[in-house]
A and B are shown apart, each in its own frame.
Chain A
Amino acid sequence: MWNVIVGEILLVIGAIFLFLGSLGIFRLPDVYNRLQAGTKCTTLGAFSTVLGVGFIEPHWMVKSLLVGVFLLLTNPVSAHAIGRASYRIGVKLWKGSVVDKLGEYREGKNA
């Protein structure tokens, strides 16, 4: 039964991180910061969930992990795509941001 206990713990951790990711997306100030929270926490939350499911039903582990791995591979890419698109269409950084090397770089390139 140890596997169920582990699984349950993983599930709870997963749920917490999923929630935190959502909270981050809700709370943080600009798109880029939201992406930070969204990508990291939801990915880990989801991974933890599928791992937990795999522990509870060991037969499912492989398949369940496939889902997790897929998320692991794709979430950073989609976050990158969103972030890049946002920057390119001129979504402003939060006013508290301290440095924008990309802006400088692009200006230098255009000049």
Chain B
Amino acid sequence: MIKKAFLILLVAFTGYVFFVAASARPFGSPRVVVSKRYLEKGLNETGSQNIVTSVVVLYRGFDTLGEVTVLFLAATALAALISGFPFERKERTEPSLVMSTASRYLFPLILLFGAYIFVHGHLTPGGGFPGGVVIASGFLLMFLAFRKYRVSEGGLIVTEGLAGFFYVLIGLIGLYLLGSFLASFLPPGRLHTLLSGGIIPLIYILIGFKVGSEMTGILRSLKGEDENG
């Protein structure tokens, strides 16, 4: 009890002091240095009307490649760690008919919605990551609703492998053509339409595929295979 109280005090103290340090900055008027330029020039420079997207895919695109790698890494590590795990659940209940039927009909719609999100990443507050997650959630729905629903591992591997590879390839094309990795070698295009943003939609589509297949792969690994299917 004393230990717990001590820990609470310690954490509270840490939080308090940190709050003091954090709130030293006057709130609501940040010292905008780089983002000022993004907001002022980003639209014309990159062609993406969603500035967050242009920051994610271009200005900080290298981060995003790393981010994709992190997800890939987690999927890999997870698959490695779970490998050989005895999934010996025998007493799984069957999903209800209502649920499985609903899932069946919702599944393509959710996939489409996911695709919509990552295709329009430069126009709406979406992008490859949420789009990919929505797609994976569609697969999750199927896993939940059908005990025997299967996703081919080969398909997932091919998708994520190629998506990742093409991502790097696009970066390398930029390096080759413009001397800079991930440089946008496509024109900004017609603003506010689907065909804008240079390489941004391209990359976001790849990310969507990659994230979708990776998250699905993670779910697949965690689901395991029970003896019925």
- Asked if the two chains touch in their complex, CB atoms less than 8 Å apart, one says yes
B-binding residues in A (CB < 8 A): 73-74, 76-77, 80-81, 84, 88
CB contacts (< 8 Å) of A76 on chain B: these are: 98
Known: A81-B96, A88-B93. 6 other contacts (CB 8 A): A73-B102, A74-B102, A74-B106, A77-B98, A77-B99, A84-B96
CB contacts (< 8 Å) of A88 on chain B: these are: 93
CB contacts (< 8 Å) of B106 on chain A: these are: 73-74
Bound: A81/B106 CA distance, A: 15
B144-171 residues at the A interface, CB under 8 angstroms: none
CB distance from B120 to the nearest CB of A (A): 12
CB contacts (< 8 Å) of A73 on chain B: these are: 102, 106
Bound: A76/B93 CA distance, A: 20
CB contact under 8 A between A80 and B93, given known A73-B106, A74-B106: no
For chains A and B in complex, what number of residue pairs have CB atoms within 8 angstroms?
16
Interface string of B127-157 (1 = CB under 8 A from A): 0000000000000000000000000000000
Q: What are the nearest 6 A-B pairs in CB distance?
A: A77-B102, A80-B98, A81-B99, A84-B96, A77-B99, A77-B98
CB distance from A37 to the nearest CB of B (A): 20
B86-106 residues at the A interface, CB under 8 angstroms: 93, 96, 98-99, 102, 106
Bound: A74/B138 CA distance, A: 13
Bound: A73/B103 CA distance, A: 11
Closest to B109 in A: A70
Can you list 16 A-B contacts with CB-CB less than 8 angstroms, sorted by A residue number? A73-B102, A73-B106, A74-B102, A74-B106, A76-B98, A77-B98, A77-B99, A77-B102, A80-B96, A80-B98, A80-B99, A81-B96, A81-B98, A81-B99, A84-B96, A88-B93
CB contacts (< 8 Å) of B99 on chain A: these are: 77, 80-81
Bound: A74/B101 CA distance, A: 11
CB contacts (< 8 Å) of B96 on chain A: these are: 80-81, 84
CB contacts (< 8 Å) of A77 on chain B: these are: 98-99, 102
CB distance from B97 to the nearest CB of A (A): 10
Closest to B100 in A: A77
Bound: A36/B96 CA distance, A: 19
Bound: A49/B158 CA distance, A: 43
CB contacts (< 8 Å) of A80 on chain B: these are: 96, 98-99
CB distance from A109 to the nearest CB of B (A): 14
CB distance from B34 to the nearest CB of A (A): 33
CB contacts (< 8 Å) of A74 on chain B: these are: 102, 106
Closest to A85 in B: B93
CB distance from A77 to the nearest CB of B (A): 4
Bound: A77/B101 CA distance, A: 10
Bound: A77/B98 CA distance, A: 7
